[in-house]
């Protein structure tokens, strides 16, 4: 099955990105394909490669790890502009793109799960 | 074609969600997608007439919804109990909508492949 | 349709709202702060009993454990992320966040 994921909250403020990560890992373990992970509103801040939490899980690293597996992880480009997140701040396996990517994930996915506040 | 329900349950201005919900309706409406919008709980405030956030230097939200039909978004459902609980009727809203009871909203959602919450 | 609840029932209306909309038999997943709704003895227990009368109710184990919740309302089914994915395999999702 193909599953799409949307994340609407940023790093550390809310559990959304953690829940999304653990869900995605479990879905992969059950043999599913993640059609894509779209980072929306404050969710785009999770794409920031300069996130370096002292002694804690790195939520950017977690998403980037999923991206490195070949899962498209896309940060909403308009939301990124609103938040001053520039292209060269985005980690290697995450890209910025428009709502078209969200539409693409929804179209490709058999199921779609949003994590937010 | 995928059927997507945008479910608005949050009030506007205090947080970004309803404005982003609106933007996603426009954004998804231009792609091959059948978009319905449901207003439940505090989401009904999004459609309240007379919004004027000029003093907040924000953009008015409610007035944009009637124009969504230009993007081929034509299914608008409002939860009857949510309206009544807030002392509102369909006349208080910026546009004509289909007012549905809980079972009606439930059925509308059940007919959709994806629910996006705002 | 799987209704996903991530807020406490004592401070937020998400669970009560979902129960109005969810059709009989549609499953409810408690996750993140939503798992507090599974606590027995809380004021919200009546709401959860009402949920259990009409819906299968699941609570995410990692979120229960994180919050130290062990006294659960009988009938709530504790599942891991694996079980969460299984529910998503079976149902479209309504995140009632």
| ipTM, 2 dp | 0.97
Full residue range of the structural domain in which residue A11 is found:
2-115
The per-residue pLDDT for A36 is 98
- How distant, in Å, are the alpha carbons of A23, B73, C95 from that of C48? 24, 36, 18
**A26/C93 touch (CB, cutoff 8 Å), yes or no:** no
The per-residue pLDDT for B92 is 98
Nearest to C97 among A22, A32, A117 (CB): A117
Residue B106 pLDDT class (50, 70, 90 cuts): very high
| Interface residue C24 vs chain B (CB under 8 A) | no
Q: How far apart are CA B64 and CA A43, in angstroms?
A: 25
Full residue range of the structural domain in which residue C74 is found:
2-95
Residue B32 pLDDT class (50, 70, 90 cuts): confident
What mean pLDDT do residues A28-55 have? 98
Among C12, C17, C25, pick the best mutation site for testing chain B contact (most B Cβ within 10 A). Answer: C17
Q: How far apart are CA C10 and CA B92, in angstroms?
A: 31
Q: How far apart are CA C82 and CA C65, in angstroms?
A: 16
Residue A100 in this model has a pLDDT that exceeds 90? yes
Looking at the domain covering B3-117, what would its CATH class be? alpha beta
**C21/B110 touch (CB, cutoff 8 Å), yes or no:** no
- For chain C, the 3-state helix, strand and coil shares in percent, each to the nearest 5, are 40, 20, 40
Which is more confident, B9 or B30? B9
0.95 cut: is pTM over it?
Answer: yes
Question: For residue C13, which residues of chain B lie inside 8 Å, CB to CB?
Answer: 41
Phi-psi region of B97 (alpha: psi -120 to 50; beta: other; left: phi over 0): beta
Q: How far apart are CA A11 and CA C91, in angstroms?
A: 29
Residue B9 pLDDT class (50, 70, 90 cuts): very high
Interface of B with A (CB under 8 A): 2, 4, 16-17, 20, 23-24, 27-28, 31-33, 113-117
The per-residue pLDDT for A1 is 97
Q: Count Cα atoms within 13 angstroms, Cβ side, for C83.
A: 15
Question: For residue A109, which residues of chain C lie inside 8 Å, CB to CB?
Answer: none
Helix (H, G, I), strand (E, B) or coil at A32: coil
Write out pLDDT tens, residues A57-92: 999 999 999 999 999 999 999 999 999 999 999 999
Helix (H, G, I), strand (E, B) or coil at B83: helix
CA-based max dimension of chain A: 39
The CATH number of the domain holding residue A45 is: 3.40.1260.10
**Among A51, A27, A50, A49, which residue's Cα sits nearest to residue A37?**
A27
Please state the domain count of chain C.
1
Q: How far apart are CA A31 and CA A43, in angstroms?
A: 26
Residue B30 in this model has a pLDDT that exceeds 90? no
Residue C71 in this model has a pLDDT that exceeds 90? yes
The per-residue pLDDT for C87 is 98
Q: Which residue of chain C is at minimal alpha-carbon distance from B106?
A: C21
Helix (H, G, I), strand (E, B) or coil at A44: helix
Residue C43 in this model has a pLDDT that exceeds 90? yes
The per-residue pLDDT for B72 is 87
The CATH number of the domain holding residue C70 is: 3.40.1260.10
């Amino acid at each position: 099955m193909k599953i799409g994921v949307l994340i609407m909250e940023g790093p550390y403020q809310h559990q959304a990105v953690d829940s999304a990560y653990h869900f995605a890992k479990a879905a992969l373990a059950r043999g599913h394909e993640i059609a894509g992970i779209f980072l929306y509103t404050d969710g785009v801040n999770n794409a920031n490669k300069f996130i370096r939490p002292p002694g804690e899980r790195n939520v950017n690293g977690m998403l980037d790890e999923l991206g490195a597996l070949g899962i498209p992880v896309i940060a909403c480009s308009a939301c990124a502009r609103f938040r001053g997140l520039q292209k060269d701040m985005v980690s290697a396996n995450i890209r910025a793109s428009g709502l078209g990517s969200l539409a693409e994930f929804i179209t490709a996915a058999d199921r779609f799960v949003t994590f937010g506040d | 074609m995928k059927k997507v329900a945008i479910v608005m349950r949050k009030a506007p201005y205090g947080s970004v969600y309803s404005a982003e919900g609106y933007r996603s309706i426009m954004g998804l409406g231009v792609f091959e997608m059948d978009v319905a919008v449901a207003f439940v709980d505090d989401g009904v405030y999004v459609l309240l007439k007379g919004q004027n956030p000029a003093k907040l230097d924000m953009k008015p939200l409610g007035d944009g919804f009637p124009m969504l039909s230009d993007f081929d978004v034509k299914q608008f459902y409002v939860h009857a109990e949510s309206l009544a609980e807030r002392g509102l009727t369909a006349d208080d809203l910026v546009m004509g909508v289909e007012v549905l009871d809980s079972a009606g909203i439930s059925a509308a959602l059940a007919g959709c492949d994806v629910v996006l919450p705002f | 349709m799987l209704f996903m609840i991530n807020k406490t029932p004592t401070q937020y209306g998400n669970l009560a709202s979902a129960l109005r909309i969810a059709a009989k038999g549609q499953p409810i997943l408690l996750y993140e702060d939503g798992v507090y709704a599974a606590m027995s003895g809380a004021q919200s227990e009546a709401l959860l009993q009402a949920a259990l009368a009409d819906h299968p109710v699941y609570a995410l184990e990692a979120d229960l454990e994180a919050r130290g919740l062990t006294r659960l309302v009988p009938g709530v089914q504790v599942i891991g992320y694996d079980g969460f994915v299984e529910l998503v395999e079976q149902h479209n999702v309504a995140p009632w966040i």
